[in-house]
Amino acid sequence: MNRKDRMKALERMAQAAGTNTSTTGTQGAPNAAAPPAQRSPSASTVFPSIVTGWDSSRVVYVNNIVGQLDAATSKGTNNKYNFQKLWDAKFPTGADSEFTSPVKDLLVLFRKVFMQFLNNGVPFQKALNSAEVTQRVNAILSAPEISKFEQVDPNSPLGQAGVSLASIRQTLTSMLPANASK
């Protein structure tokens, strides 16, 4: 399978994984109608060298995590930010300053995912070895921001954005070399 076909297959798998982009409520006004979440392209579409750094099964996991964080970010920031907008700006450190928790924590976590899983936007030159995969995945699993999602009100706009802490942790754990399907 050539690179172009591989990218198309990965894109289809990422879309099949999907995320919930429920549109009920806005931050500060739980019963008001929010604009629909603006979906961004998958991580592997925006950052093609991901297939150099990560193996194909892990690319699907990265696409899934980025997709969930994209939907939550779009929802939590009322479409001010999403993956594409943050990518274009190279995930600026000040993007979270105008928000309070949990949205601020979400943006900080998304930046960490960008740094670890998308190589801070720098194209991968070689495949990550097992130790590098473990280090990068554990950096996200141990991030303090991830545990703060346990405190998100499931009825809040961010809670309704389809981000599941259990799902993200399961996906991250599946990415570890001892657990990943080959």
Is 145 a domain residue? yes
Is 181 a domain residue? no
Please give the average per-residue pLDDT across 13-22, as a whole number. 45
Q: Which amino acid is at 38?
A: Q
Is 29 a domain residue? no
Rounded distance between C-alpha atoms, residue 97 and residue 105, angstroms: 10
Is 66 a domain residue? yes
CA–CA distance from 65 to each of 4, 35, 72, 112 (Å)? 22, 22, 11, 12
- Enclosing H/E stretch for 112: helix 103-117
Instruction: Evaluate whether 9 touches 1 at the Cβ level (below 8 Å).
Output: yes
Strand stretches in 8-144, DSSP E: 24-26, 29-33
Specify the pLDDT at position 177: 93
Total domains in the fold of the chain: 1
Top pLDDT among 162 and 168 is at 168
According to DSSP, residue 146 is labeled H
In the predicted structure, residue 14 carries a pLDDT above the cut 90: no
pLDDT band at residue 147 using 50, 70 and 90 as cut-offs: confident
Is 26 a domain residue? no
Residue ranges making up the domain that contains 169 = 3-19+34-175
